[in-house]
Amino acid sequence: MRPEFADALERAGHGEQLTKNDLITLLNADKDESRTLFEAADQARANTLGDEVHFRGIIEFSNHCMKNCLYCGLRRDNQKLARYRLKPEEIIEGARETARLGCRTLVLQSGEDCYYSADMLGELIVKIKEELDLAITLSLGDRTKKDYGLLKKAGADRYLLKHETCDADLFSYLRPGTRLEERLERQVWLRETGYQVGSGNMVGLPGQSLETLAGDIILMREMGIEMAGIGPFIPGKQTPLAKASGGSLELSMKTLAATRLAMPGAHLPTTTSIASIHPQGRVKALQCGANVIMPNMTPRQYRASYMIYPGKLGLQDTPEDSYKRAVKAVNDACRTISRGHGHSLKYEKAV
Ligand code: 5AD
Ligand code: SF4
Residue 346 has pLDDT above 90, yes or no: no
At 146-156, the pLDDT tens digits run 999 999 999 99
Q: How do the residues of the chain divide into helix, strand and coil, expressed in percent and rounded to 5?
A: 45, 15, 40
Task: Tell whether the model's pLDDT for residue 220 goes beyond 80.
Answer: yes
Is the whole-model pTM more than 0.95? yes
Map out the domains of the chain as residue ranges: 3-350
pLDDT at residue 351, as a whole number:
66
Closest ligand to 205 CA? 1
- C-alpha–C-alpha distance, residues 33 and 169, integer Å: 32
Task: Among 68, 112, 183, name the best residue to mutate to test ligand 2's pocket (greatest count of ligand atoms within 8 A of Cβ).
Answer: 112
Query: Which tens digits make up the pLDDT trace of 327-336?
Result: 999 999 999 9
- The Cα 117–Cα 120 span in angstroms is 5
What confidence tens digit (pLDDT) does each residue in 264-300 have?
999 999 999 999 999 999 999 999 999 999 999 999 9
Within the chain, where are the H helices? 3-13, 20-27, 31-49, 88-101, 118-131, 145-154, 168-174, 180-193, 210-222, 249-262, 272-277, 281-286, 300-303, 319-332, 345-350
Mean pLDDT of the chain: 97
Q: Looking at the CA of residue 142, tell me the nearest atom of ligand 2.
A: 7
Q: Worst-scoring range by mean pLDDT, 183-197, 199-213, 333-347? A: 333-347
Does the pLDDT of residue 348 top 90, yes or no?
no
pLDDT digits (tens, 9 = 90+) for 75-103: 999 999 999 999 999 999 999 999 999 99
Greatest extent of the chain over all pairs of C-alpha atoms, in Å: 58
For the Cβ of 128 lying below 6 angstroms from any atom of ligand 2, the answer is: no
When pLDDT is averaged across residues 13-26 and rounded to a whole number, the result is 97
Domain 3-350 has CATH 1.10.357.10: no
Predicted pLDDT of residue 350: 76
Query: For the residues 219-225, what does the mean pLDDT come to?
Result: 98
Q: Work out the number of other CB atoms within 10 angstroms of the CB of residue 310.
A: 15
**CB within 6 Å of ligand 1 — which residues?**
71-72, 162, 164, 202, 231, 233-234, 236, 273, 308-309
Centre of ligand 1 from the C-alpha of residue 74, in Å: 10
Contacts of 174 (CB under 8 A, 6+ apart): 69, 70, 71, 164, 165, 205
CA-derived radius of gyration, the chain? 19
Whether residue 186 contacts residue 226, with contact meaning beta carbons closer than 8 Å, is answered with no
